[in-house]
Amino acid sequence: MKVAFIGNINSKCGIAVYNELLFNALKEFTEIKFFSERNEEEDNKYIAYCWDREEFPKLSLIEKIDEFKPDVILFSHEYGIFPKAYFFTSLVSYFKLKKYKVVTIFHSVYENHQDKLVTESICKNVVVHTDEAKRALVRKGLNEENISIVPHGCSFANEEESILPRLWNHNGNEHVVLQAGFLFYYKSHLHMLDVIYELKKKYENVLYIIVGSENPLCKSEHDKLYKEICDKVEKLGLTHNVVIDRGFVSKNVLMSYIRTSYACVLPYKPDPEFDVFAASGMARIVLQTSTPLLTSKANLFNNMDDVAIKCDTTDSWVKSISDIFDKKFDENKMIESRKAFLKENSWENCAKKLIDIFNIAK
């Protein structure tokens, strides 16, 4: 079976990281080639950089797909990568006319956005990451038989399949809270500053580290949010309790931050109108370590109740982080739950599920 994988790869983007890991897993089971959005990388045996998100029509992509003659085309879809519906739907329509099987992974499902049905409906072989995302699409009017569930992939950080222990406490501080990820408003850095303000009343040296990834395409939002964070830090008197490291960091740097922190927080709070059924890649990176993970109850963290502590109000965040600082949680139980989660949702298992979908695709 020949598979053409369309998306972005080797760029500063969470979806690109997902695509790379899934691509490597699928290589073990099928003949596959990646057809990527252009960046500074050069073509190689497995990857052709041949289209841009604002380009229409994507003639170079179409030409290279036709040359490859795949049995299946796999789209890794995110609305930011296909910003106008017809950029995507015209491709799907063309490939179906050419008798290719088309399978689409929808990383984000917005139940309250009826407009997005014009994108979702044209895909007759849909893949989502959670049961909740599937139910949301069915409620919107899609045929349940066309929707399959493949969880977001996971991996251990080492070949021994063990959870990475903490590193030496280089910070010299046992009250370190880390939030890593892109500087977007829905990730609630501003609310977390209120939590840190309350924690400081009990832990004077509490340290909130923000590793703020950035994408040049979103520079205006990154800059605006960074200024608001800095202004609020000063207003709350937290100048010496907050560290901000801006920029897209390597996996090694990110793991160092995680493994020298005492709690990792992902307090995402999407606007109700933009509530999204998705799966957090950052959460799955934290699960490779023994550092406790606290998340909001947003739909990006569905099916993670056994491996993350869920919080919603300021008081619940303060209490849960305090319990971690005071060692009032079962670390051994947490580690065993993480091992089971990572094994069940391995990239290999995800690739096998996709191969099964390819075989029955319409």
- Looking at residue 33, what is its pLDDT? 98
Q: What's the pLDDT tens digit per position in 65-78?
A: 999 999 999 999 99
* CA 311/CA 294 separation, integer angstroms: 7
Q: What are phi and psi of 268, to 5 degrees?
A: -55, 140
Contact present, 61 and 50 (Cβ < 8 Å)? yes
Q: Does the pLDDT at position 23 exceed 80? A: yes
pLDDT of residue 248: 86
pLDDT for 316 beyond 90: yes
What gap in Å lies between CA 338 and CA 348, rounded to an integer?
A: 17
- Structure confidence at residue 129 as a pLDDT band (50, 70, 90): very high
Residue 16: is its pLDDT beyond 80? Answer: yes
Q: Quick one: pLDDT at residue 183? A: 94
Average pLDDT on 274-279 reads: 88
Whether residue 272 has pLDDT greater than 80: no
% of the chain residues with pLDDT over 90 = 93
Task: Please count the residues of the chain.
Answer: 362
Dump the DSSP string for 137-187: HHHHT--GGGEEE-PPPB--SSTT--PBPPPP-TT--S-EEEEEEE--GGG
pLDDT single digits (tens) 38-63: 998 999 999 999 999 999 999 999 99
pLDDT-derived band at 92, boundaries 50, 70, 90: very high
Contact in structure between 272 and 294 (CB atoms under 8 Å): no
pTM of the model: 0.93
